[in-house]
Amino acid sequence: MESIFVVNKFEEGWDTKELIQDIFTQEEYCIQALEIPDEKIYGTEMIGQDLLEIVLTDISENELNDDWYINLTRISA
């Protein structure tokens, strides 16, 4: 299953200017701040200056109850 999330609230300490310019930093944000497992991240892209699109792949039904997935659902626009 593939899922797309758009995040508009960023954890303190992360520079959105840096996220705009660097895909590696976007993925690091997803892994470190949002605690998304690396293998679930298919891709990321900044939309404008304040939205981060996150595409996840291979989400199993039992992962829908994981803390990171629930948190991501809650903070998504």
Residue 16 has pLDDT above 90, yes or no: no
Domain boundaries, the chain: 3-75
Cα end-to-end span (Å), the chain: 20
Q: Where are the alpha helices (DSSP H) in 1-77?
A: 16-21, 23-32, 67-75
**pLDDT tens-digit map of 24-69:** 999 999 999 999 999 999 999 999 888 999 999 999 999 999 999 9
Please state, as a whole number, how many other Cβ atoms lie within 10 Å of the Cβ of residue 10: 16
